[in-house]
Structure 1
């Protein structure tokens, strides 16, 4: 009895043993359906499993820390919301699809979270109507690897013993996960997220009727990558400084509107890459300073309107397997090489509703002042299929001699040279070219002029010897 009284008074006075606080997982397990759990700051060690419909609400950005072994948070219940937390340290096994948040329940809402050092950021697996908004997702910067001394010398901040050892080394892009990954999911909404240093920014597989808007993706492999995913819409997104802006494959009926694809400049640095795409609508997009603005392969019945394709190394590239595509009211100019069209199908049309595209001011004549030139525009591809046989031949693109020859051949339509003929080109730009694109175009023209002057000077010197 005395012991009981002593312990009782000790607890009341705060001098006795301290009762253990329930862990975050204990609180999640004890929640009733529809409860809201407030998590106030601090570090909470996972992994965590949510099997009840609830709201997990962070205050002061609490840190949910995984143990580098599996998903940090796994959601198996429907109608779960996670908001306002920091999530780190997922497992790094691609074969296990490790993720910061693994969603296996319908109607999940993932809002205003910061995910870092995770393999996949947010992975929605076979469930519908996810809402993913206002999150910041960063891929893992490094990963521990056991290296030989020879391998260690490849990294400036890594040294190991003669027997070898472990170092933190950068994780190669193919070994990273995706920022936002949807698999077999329909009617999801993805808005206002920032993703960088993952493998792909957004990746959709067998996922239809998705709406993605106002996302910013940079420093990844493909900013937008999807396969076998139909009737999706992408608006007002920015894909910048990636290996490639997009890779759109084996899908039908997509809408791509008001997006920016800029400075995607790897060897395959495409703004828009279409592979086996049908019935797509591409309207009012900006494709600027990429390796190639638009590339079509085996793609049919797509429509391109009011897009800016400017200041790219190559504006357009099309293969003979791409047919019945239509282009109208686009601004296509200031590219170092306008188009690579060897083998292109003649079924593609360069006007919509009797209105063509704007290719620049040269060679146009508008007698009736309707804004459409009576003189067709023709661009030729002198290098043609030689690019595939001799990769370095493309270095000639934009050279003074080749430019002069192409300009002359545009006026000789009878020659059998791969070309684009726009019968009704616009005499004025249909959309405004941004200042950045104009300045890049000016730099490109100045570079070509400088090379031409050097060639003429050297020729003059040789002649006077």
Structure 2
């Protein structure tokens, strides 16, 4: 009984005691020697990778802790569940494309792990989840080469056959794709910031993911959703995604997705929909894009409601023929000629949005390069005068923004009415 008690007390002492990296041990040796479920606290120095973690552990760095890989593999490989890594900089993963495995700063092969407050530099992929579920990646900063070489680097966060993960508050700059999903379902992506990548978000064959409050800026494409269904995108910002065939969001062979309350500002195309059906777009703002929504006839049964279009070169561009899509209750901006005689905020009749730009786009894809040219506006105006524009969208119940008058404006109008009335009365009395 005494031996059992002494052994138990010793085990509890070990589990509660932080293990510090000493000069006499490598980081891998320290990890191997630490009891399961213990905490390892690292010093302000550079440790040598590559390391493999095969037991539940918590590894906490100091303000200048660096784990530097050999340049030939993963810097950190996690093969146990319930591993926590916090507050470290990780650098120098393998970058070779001649191996079966794509290397990363941290590669996770297991479930229920947490990666938090980590900086990744000079690595192929940043964080790679491989058949790993229920993990949390939070406040990770991944910086890539930002040199435009698509094959020269990997993705910031790469999610492969991995479900039920949470990606929260991460920042990714200059990688190939910011966040890439491949056959991964039911993940939550929230409050991430991605810039200067090819695609900020890239979905392939991944369903039922949720995507909230993220920001994508200065990418070739904000979010490319391909062969993926039932994705929810709410309260995200897609800003300044410009370039040849660029977009805020691309839906391609993507069905039953919901896009609500997102902001699309100064993109070449806000939303581009091709070979996709039954998508629902509500409450989105399309401001100063070249094209608000580009909609191909291969896509059917989209519903557009309560979206706001303002100051785009063209709000809607329908290509490849007519499609069966529904427009109802959208705001078409000040330039739309809509009458609201009874002042109920709704147009008195259906609104037809027309354009002639589809002609030059269908004839020559290079036309996108000239959408900011003044000649495009001249072309549209000429076709409008010649009545050669075509209907891009018919909104059955368009919404009119009610103008609000300031107190000074109200007083001004009352003065004008009063002066006019006085003049009329005086004139009548002769």
- What is the TM-score of this pair, normalised by structure 1? 0.77
Map residues 21-420 of structure 1 onto 2, 5 A cutoff: 21-94=24-97, 95=99, 96-140=101-145, 172-351=149-328, 355-394=329-368, 395=370, 399-408=376-385, 417-420=390-393
Mapped partners of 1:429, 1:232: distance in 2: 37
Which runs of 5 or more residues in structure 1 are unaligned? 1-18, 142-169, 431-465
Distance 2:367 2:245 in 1: 16
Deviation for aligned residue 1:220 = 0.6
Provide the rounded CA distance (Å) in 2 between the counterparts of 1:421 and 1:290.
24
Cα distance in 1 between the residues matched to 2:361 and 2:236: 30
Instruction: Supply the distance in 2 between the matched residues of 1:341 and 1:136 (Cα, whole angstroms).
Output: 39
> CA–CA distance in 2 between the matches of 1:243 and 1:342?
22
- Give me the whole-angstrom Cα distance separating, in 2, the residues matched to 1:122 and 1:249: 22
d(CA) in 2 for partners of 1:429, 1:77 = 59
**Distance in 2 of aligned mates of 1:392 and 1:192:** 37
CA contact (8 A) 2:383 2:389 kept: no
What SS is found at the alignment partner of 2:348?
A: coil
Residue number in structure 2 paired with 1:167: none
Which deviates more, 32-41 or 124-133? 32-41
Secondary structure of the residue aligned to 1:252 is coil
What's the CA shift string for 1:18-41, capped at 9, x where partnerless? Answer: x96111111101122211111121
Alpha-carbon distance between aligned partners in 1 of 2:86 and 2:61, rounded to the nearest angstrom: 6
Gaps of 5+ in 2: 1-21, 404-430
Q: Are the counterparts in 2 of residues 50 and 77 from structure 1 also a CA contact under 8 Å?
A: yes
Q: Distance in 1 between matches of 2:188 and 2:95?
A: 29
Distance (whole Å) between structure 1 residues aligned to residue 135 and residue 32 of structure 2: 23
Q: CA deviation at 1:422?
A: 1.2
> What is the CA-CA distance between 1:313 and the residue it aligns to?
1.3
Three-state SS of the structure 2 residue aligned to 1:113 is: strand
Please report how far the alpha carbon of residue 385 of structure 1 lies from its aligned counterpart in structure 2 after TM superposition: 4.8
Aligned residues: 377
* Whole-Å separation in 1 of the counterparts to 2:206 and 2:365: 33
Distance 1:133 1:90 in 2: 20
1:90–1:98 CA contact under 8 A, matched in 2: yes
> CA offsets, 1:184-221, max 9 Å, x none?
11100001100011100000111111101110000111
> 2 CA distance for matches of 1:45 and 1:171?
30
Separation in structure 2 between the aligned mates of residue 43 and residue 416 of structure 1, nearest angstrom = 65
Q: 8 Å contact 2:234–2:259 — kept in the other structure?
A: yes
